[in-house]
Chains A and B, each alone.
Chain A
Amino acid sequence: MEGIIDKLLNQIQKLGQFGLERLQALGRAGVFLFASIPWGGPGSAGFKDLIKQIYSIGVRSLSIILVAGFFVGMVLGLQGYTILSDFGSEAALGTMVSLTLLRELGPVVTALLFAGRAGSALTAEIGLMKATEQISAMEMMGVDPLKRIITPRLWAGFIAMPILALLFSLVGIWGGAYVGINMLGVDEGAYWGNMQASVEFYDDVIKGLIKSLVFGLVVTWIAVYQGFDSMPTSEGISKATTQTVVVASLAVLGLDFVLTAIMLGSI
């Protein structure tokens, strides 16, 4: 009898430990983000670093985003045409493709690709900096590693993500037009005209942009935090990199639901 109660208590204690650890990690991540915000603004060295980070995070992700966007748009064109032609309303293809991309797929798929392409690289980079004690060296020299390393990366993610998402949607709409108009024979005027009639600049384009701004911040935040908080061993870095992709992808999908619910205002 005593043994069973002991085992039960142990299990409950383990559960408590697990919860406390999660809570602590969340708190550390919050403090970490707060400390990385450049209250004084970036200096000239900060600006140079920002450009470098936008290059490695944004420009280098461009190829995968553009190719993925084009194919997603083409598939949407094909699938949409098959469904819409059942109702004799192929003319609505442009509307369907553009709204799907601008509202949902543009921000979300870009964020998922971004987490895999740029997020994992950020985590590995910062984790390796920690493992090779570059971060401790900075602290010894009196340089704040948060401001020096983390801040420009956060800003770069925040700036690059909406641009990438916009380009994704743009290329996707073009891909849909290519398949719809050139291959399936949808009327070109109907494709663009119906799209323009039903897409609203604020409701669709700007709200999609707001989504991708939030995703940009969250994905980069998770990536740099995982790197900064990783165990400074080769195993720790590999774990942190995996964690980044998993946690960032789930966070994006979860946040997408919350943001959509808030923006549509129906809940």
Chain B
Amino acid sequence: MRTRLMELAVGAFMVMGIIALVLMALRVSGISTSEVGDKYTIKAYFENLGGLTERAKVSMSGVTIGRVTNVYLDTEDYVAVVEMEITSGMSTLTTDTSAAILTAGLLGEKYIGLTVGADDEYLEEGGVIEDTQSALVLEELIGQFLFNKAEE
């Protein structure tokens, strides 16, 4: 009878371990089953990324609808290229959607905010967002401010 109790305790211990791992995966690291669903990739060209990195959020009206998967420099035109995966639930992004690099809070992380347009056609796999707005670079802003002040 004592071995049975002991085996039960060990079994419960191991089940606790598995539950902990699942909780870590779902609750803490936020892997959710809906993310496994279909996605499609679109591209956008930016003058300046200002610290946007891979895995940054892509959101529309504050709702996360995708992630940045790749960031690289186009060596012909010397502009930054951002590739992002959008969940296929959001398959109705119009071709004149605009993208802007925004900051969460004053010192927070960079993310991409999309604003939908009014076109009839939708972006498909590999589509390119034409209307983009670069990140705000604080130094440039201050420079502009000083320049304007000097002109007055």
Q: Which residues of A contact B (CB under 8 A)?
A: 48, 51-52, 54-55, 58-59, 62, 87-89, 91, 98, 102, 159-160, 162-163, 166-167, 169-170, 173, 192, 195-197, 199-201, 204-205, 209
Contacts and interface: CB of A to CB of B under 8 A. Distances in A.
Given A59-B9, A88-B106, A196-B29, 19 more contacts: A51-B10, A52-B3, A54-B13, A54-B14, A55-B9, A55-B13, A58-B13, A87-B107, A98-B28, A102-B28, A160-B13, A166-B17, A166-B24, A170-B24, A195-B28, A196-B28, A199-B29, A199-B30, A205-B21
Interface in B37-90: 57
Contacts of A201: 24-25, 29, 31
B105 interface: yes
A205 B16 contact: no
Nearest to B32: A196
A59 B7 CA distance: 11
A93 to B, nearest CB: 14
B13 A205 contact: no
30 contacts: A48-B3, A51-B10, A52-B3, A52-B6, A54-B14, A55-B9, A59-B9, A59-B10, A62-B13, A87-B107, A89-B107, A102-B28, A162-B17, A163-B13, A163-B20, A166-B17, A166-B20, A166-B24, A167-B17, A167-B20, A195-B28, A195-B30, A196-B27, A196-B28, A196-B29, A196-B30, A200-B29, A205-B21, A205-B24, A205-B28
Interface of B: 3, 6-7, 9-10, 13-14, 16-17, 20-21, 23-25, 27-31, 57, 105-108
